[in-house]
Amino acid sequence: MHLNTILLFLLVIAAYLNIFIKFKHLKTHQKRAKLPISSKQWREKVEDENFKSWLSNRERLKGRKKDQ
C-alpha cells in the first residue's frame, strides 16, 4: 500500500466520524423538554382566573350600589 492510499483511508474515516458526531450532536439537541401544561391550556387557565376575578368584583360592586 502506498502512503497516499493510507492517508486517503484515514481521511475517509475522519469524514465519517465527523458526520457521525455532528448527527449525534444534532439529535441530542433537538429533544425538547416536555412541559407539564401546554401554552393553550395555560392561556385558558389565566383567562378563566381573570373571568372569575371579574365576576367576583362585579358582584361586590353591585352590592355596594345597592347599599348606597
pLDDT per position as a tens digit, 20-42: 999 888 877 776 667 788 888 98
Ramachandran assignment for 36, one of left (phi > 0), alpha (psi -120 to 50 degrees), beta (any other): alpha
Tell me how many degrees the CA angle 58-49-51 measures, rounded to the nearest 5: 35
Quick one: DSSP state of residue 32? -
Report the C-alpha dihedral over residues 42, 45, 47, 49, rounded to 10 degrees: -140
Q: Is the pLDDT of residue 63 over 80?
A: no
pLDDT band at 61 (very low <50, low <70, confident <90, very high): confident
pLDDT band at 15 (very low <50, low <70, confident <90, very high): very high
Quick one: DSSP state of residue 37? S
Helix (H) or strand (E) holding 47: helix 39-67
As a whole number, the mean pLDDT across the chain is: 87
**What pTM did the predictor assign?**
0.42
